[in-house]
Amino acid sequence: MSPRAARGHTLNILVPLAAALMLAACTNSGAPTIGGGPVATASATADGPAGYNPLTDTPDPTAGARQIIENPTVSEVLTPGPDLPEMSLGRADAPVTIIKYMSLTCPHCRAFHRDVFPQLKREYIDTGKVRFVLREFPIGKSSGTATIALRCAPPDKYFTLYAKYLEQQTSWVAQEVRLDAIFAVAQQVGVTRAQFDQCLQNQPMIDGLKRVKDRGRTLGIIGTPNFFIQSKRIKSTLTMAEIRKEVDPLLGGPSAATANAAPAR
């Protein structure tokens, strides 16, 4: 085989491998597909057994069975964790809150951010109708490491770095944790290497992220992306049509008027 042919053969192998690694962070064989598409389950991983693993999912053998809140109230859903500030966009007093549980390695999270979020922001967040909250639910070691870097960024750069990690997944998602590649993305919003390395050893912050994820599980979150619209749990990706269907009645909008209209005589 000629050198050029060999390079082409290698590229043909690496491209589907990279896609498979990202998909593993968002769905397993047999993972649930509900409504808009597949979601990642918490047992999925994009990384091998070796490497940095700050947010391990190893269960505590001394812990009892997890109590899942089957029908959480709005108050239970909206109550933030005790350790880390809630990261949100929109008016704090917006009439409707949408919460997205996300993993940075999940391609379905990336697709929602690319295809749905810009219109959601224009129609509902920027107009004061919806408060949009991101909660971290990292799946796999690479996602856990990038999530720590995300929290390491200045608060006003959080959503910018979140977008960069999603948009640049192919540059840093790999079978093993690639610290330099993960840092290279964080560096784009001003995070220094010293800050990055220090954050990877920030155990209180890491413990806080674990509690965010654990609280999500208690609320019935099974993977990413999962959403709450007020207290309604949605274990699937969302389209704009689905968002309008859920949100407009809460705002007294067109969907509510249609639902309350008298039947034609």
The domain total for the chain is 1
Whether 260 is covered by a domain: the verdict is no
Whether 144 is covered by a domain: the verdict is yes
pLDDT score at 144: 96
pLDDT score at 12: 46
What is the rounded end-to-end Cα distance, in angstroms, of the chain? 77
pLDDT per residue over 44-90, tens digit each? 334 433 455 667 655 555 445 578 999 999 999 999 988 999 999 99
Q: Where residue 104 sits, what CATH number does that domain have?
A: 3.40.30.10
206: nearest Cα among 141, 111, 158: 141
pLDDT score at 67: 86
Q: Are residues 148 and 109 in contact, defined by beta-carbon separation less than 8 angstroms?
A: no
225: preceding bond cis by omega (within 30 degrees): yes
Q: How far is CA 40 from CA 24, 44, 128, 185, in A?
A: 8, 7, 31, 23
Whether 88 is covered by a domain: the verdict is yes
pLDDT score at 19: 47
pLDDT score at 99: 99
* Cβ atoms within 10 Å, residue 176: 14
Whether 264 is covered by a domain: the verdict is no
Q: What is the dihedral of CA 48, 51, 56, 57, to 10 degrees?
A: 10
25: nearest Cα among 152, 175, 135: 175
Residues of the chain predicted below pLDDT 70: 1-54, 56-65, 253-265
34: nearest Cα among 243, 246, 235: 235
Structure tokens given for 33: 């597909």
Q: Which amino acid, one-letter code, is at 108? A: H
pTM, whole model, 2 decimals? 0.79
pLDDT score at 64: 52
* Structural domain of 216: 3-58+67-255
CB under 8 A, 24+ apart: contacts of 185-191: 185/146, 185/149, 185/161, 186/149, 186/150, 186/152, 186/153, 186/161, 188/161, 188/164, 189/153, 189/154, 189/157, 189/160, 189/161, 189/164, 190/153, 190/154, 190/157, 191/149, 191/152, 191/153, 191/161
Whether 261 is covered by a domain: the verdict is no
pLDDT score at 9: 47
Helix residue spans in the chain (DSSP H): 3-24, 74-78, 107-115, 117-120, 141-152, 158-167, 169-172, 179-187, 193-199, 203-218, 240-251, 254-260
Whether 265 is covered by a domain: the verdict is no
Whether 109 is covered by a domain: the verdict is yes
> What letters, b where the CB count within 10 A reaches 16 and e where it falls short, cover 76-94?
ebbeebeebeebbbbeeeb
pLDDT score at 65: 59
Whether 152 is covered by a domain: the verdict is yes
Cβ neighbors of 4 (< 8 A, separation 6 or more) are: none
pLDDT score at 175: 85
